[in-house]
Amino acid sequence: MERTTLSRPMAIALAFMAVIWVSPFAWLFSNAFDTAATGRLVWPQNFGIDNFTGAIGGDAGRMFLNSLLIAAGTATISVVVGAAAAYPLSRLRMPGKNALLWTLVLLRMLPSVGVLVPLYFAAQRSGLLNQFGVMLALSCLNLPFTLLLLKNFFDTVPIELEEAAYVDGASLWQIVTGIVLPMSRAGLAVVWFFSFTGAWNEFLLPLIFSRVEAAFPMSVGLYGAFGRMGAIDYGFLAAFSIIYAAPAVGVYFLLRRNMNTGFAGVGVKG
């Protein structure tokens, strides 16, 4: 087997790209662990974890919990409602169901700002200008892609397995929870992960719906961490950014095994 070697210009180009990619992370960590950070990319002069202590305590800690509540709640609602709606779409013969599904997906292509006003007034009249209202609004925005993805996963579950379970006396609830959902765990994990990260990164809806600073998530807090009246605490900002990014990375590694299983389709021997 011949061994391929990189040319000098290619090696220089790759090294340059690596430096560009690594530099922001180097800046984050160098300033996060420097208790006297000045915003420059230098080795920490006063090494410590005081910035992280400030980024997880007080108002910042409350924002972290608010973000977890909104993101986990949105992801769970999206999965439960999406699975309940996608299974009938997968199994029932309804005229125009594909057209309806793709119409919903096309409507979701509209930016969130385009539907912000009707969502706001609907939440206002329903008394949902709070964190639960944020979860419901984000779940509604996630629903088209959730339906499309979960329907495709449910389509790959062999109908013969469900028919066999039905002949053995299993109820619809037992069939769905014992056969369909376990065999579609990759789709459920993907939907939960993307719903979680989407809600975690959402800025506009929590800012407008929550109304009070005590209910703001970290996405809004990160905006405030850039400083008011022109003053920026670079150490706090860097530590806050690292903590803000950590949950999404952690959730990915927790769900990675399920997301890597692929579609549920298996062969049925008879």
Domains of the chain plus CATH, in order, are: 51-259 (1.10.3720.10)
pLDDT, average across residues 226-239:
72
Residue of higher predicted confidence among 238 and 37: 238
Provide the pLDDT confidence category of residue 105 given band limits of 50, 70 and 90. Answer: confident
Tokens of 86: 């996608």
What are the DSSP calls for 94-145, one per residue? -TTHHHHHHHHHHHHTS-GGGGHHHHHHHHHHHT--SHHHHHHHHHHHHHHH
Q: Coil, helix or strand for 47?
A: strand
pLDDT at 6: 61
pLDDT, average across residues 75-83:
93
Q: Apex CA 69: angle with CA 64 and CA 72, to 5°?
A: 115
Query: 94 Cβ partners below 8 Å, 6+ apart?
Result: 88
C-alpha 53/C-alpha 60 separation (Å) is: 10
Q: Coil, helix or strand for 65?
A: helix
Centre a 10 Å sphere on the Cβ of residue 171 and count the other Cβ atoms it contains.
11
Please state, for a pLDDT cut of 70, what percent of the chain lies above it.
91
H or E element in which residue 40 lies: none
Tokens of 175: 């069939």
Given a cut of 60, whether residue 264 has pLDDT beyond it is: no
Q: Coil, helix or strand for 34?
A: strand
Residue 195: closest CA among 257, 126, 141, 233: 141
C-alpha 51/C-alpha 202 separation (Å) is: 24
Cα–Cα distances (Å) from 11 to 21, 26, 142, in that order, read 15, 21, 42
Residue pair 157/120 in contact (Cβ under 8 Å)? The answer is no
pLDDT at 228: 54
pLDDT at 5: 62
Structure confidence by residue, pLDDT tens digits, 144-172:
888 888 988 888 888 888 888 888 888 88
Residue pair 202/141 in contact (Cβ under 8 Å)? The answer is no
Residue of higher predicted confidence among 127 and 261: 127
Structure confidence by residue, pLDDT tens digits, 173-186:
888 888 888 888 88
Residue of higher predicted confidence among 267 and 255: 255
pLDDT at 261: 59
Provide the pLDDT confidence category of residue 259 given band limits of 50, 70 and 90. Answer: low
Given a cut of 70, whether residue 269 has pLDDT beyond it is: no
Radius of gyration of the chain from its Cα atoms, rounded to whole angstroms: 24
pLDDT at 1: 46
Place of tokens 């125009």: 96
Given a cut of 90, whether residue 31 has pLDDT beyond it is: no
pLDDT, average across residues 98-102:
78
Given a cut of 60, whether residue 191 has pLDDT beyond it is: yes
pTM over 0.75: yes
Q: Which of 10-19, 68-77, 120-129, 175-184 has the lowest mean pLDDT?
A: 10-19
Residue of higher predicted confidence among 212 and 193: 193
Provide the pLDDT confidence category of residue 240 given band limits of 50, 70 and 90. Answer: confident
pLDDT at 268: 39
pLDDT at 256: 77
Given a cut of 80, whether residue 114 has pLDDT beyond it is: no
Residue 188: closest CA among 105, 247, 108, 258: 258
Residue 58: closest CA among 224, 234, 199: 224
C-alpha 173/C-alpha 177 separation (Å) is: 6
C-alpha 86/C-alpha 81 separation (Å) is: 8
